[in-house]
Amino acid sequence: MNKAKANTGKKTKTQFGLPADHVAPPPWQETVGTYLGGQAHVDEMDLVAIEMEKRWGAGRLRLVVDPILREKFDRQRYLVNQALWHGELQDVIRESKRMVLAWQALDRAATAAGRQALAPEVWEVTLASGTVAAIVRDSHHASKVAVENRSVRVYTLEEIGHLLHGFPELSKAKATFPGAAVEKVSTRVIDPLQAVPDSKAPIDDAIPF
């Protein structure tokens, strides 16, 4: 989980990063002070999520633990969404901290179960289709990719070179604007929260981390 908020498609952003069609900012973003206070904890949560995905792969960690812990983890993600979109400052702080504990709990459980972390020779990114692109140096390292019930496509550096050659405009943009970054359009691997239209409804029997 690069962030806890469910991906709802590309939208124009307003102040504090809210979608343009969002009617009003949530209570925790009503002032600059409360926004900064909440965002500091959201940033910490995101840093942990990024680190876990670097270690375990894109969308993989929740799939290598038992279903009971996976459900608990997904419930916590929902509570984070709820706090981010509708909560007060204390809600954002509380649920962000619990989300950090949730990531750490999955990390411990996966390690204790002997599951293998992502090999250092493999880099992963989630594509807009929901599939995962695993990038390896060569075909020899392809065997190090951990699929784990995910839709994974493996690309070697040579294949990426062919892809770049086939899309010269991408290379041209990099050459014309040194340091320019191509806009990221990736989303997370499809997960249960993407089927939930919003986070207004209370969640039953949510057991906090």
pLDDT tens profile 116-154: 887 667 777 777 787 888 887 777 666 667 767 677 888
Its sign, for the CA torsion 147, 182, 139, 52, is negative
Return the domain boundaries, the chain: 15-116, 122-176
DSSP state string for the chain: --SSSPP-----B-GGG-BTT-SS--GGGSSHHHHHHHHHHHHHHHHHHHHHHHHH-TTTGGGSS-HHHHHHHHHHHHHHHHHHHH--HHHHHHHHHHHHHHHHHHHHHHHHTTPPPPPTTEEEEE-TTS-EEEEESSGGGGGG---TTS-EEEEEHHHHHHHHHH-HHHHHHHHHSTT--PPP---PPP-GGGG-S-S-S--TT----
Which residues on neighbouring strands pair with residue 132, listed in sequence order?
126, 152
Q: Which long-range contacts (CB under 8 A, 24 or more apart) does 20-24 make?
A: none
pLDDT of residue 97: 97
Work out the mean pLDDT of the chain and round it to a whole number.
Answer: 77
**84 close to 92: Cβ distance less than 8 angstroms:** yes
* Range 60-76 average pLDDT: 94
Residue 48 scores a pLDDT above 90: yes
Residue type, 44: E
Task: Encode pLDDT of 32-43 as tens digits.
Answer: 899 999 999 999
pLDDT at 173: 66
Report the pLDDT value the prediction gives residue 59, as an integer from 0 to 100.
81
State the Cα–Cα distance between residues 61 and 45, nearest whole angstrom: 16
- Type of residue found at 148: E
Using CA atoms, how far apart are residues 105 and 183, in angstroms rounded to an integer?
A: 33
Tokens describing residue 198: 């919003």
Among residues of the chain, what percentage have pLDDT more than 90? 36
Q: Mean pLDDT across the stretch 146-164?
A: 78
Residue 150: CB atoms within 10 A of its CB come to: 20
- pTM of the predicted protein model: 0.59
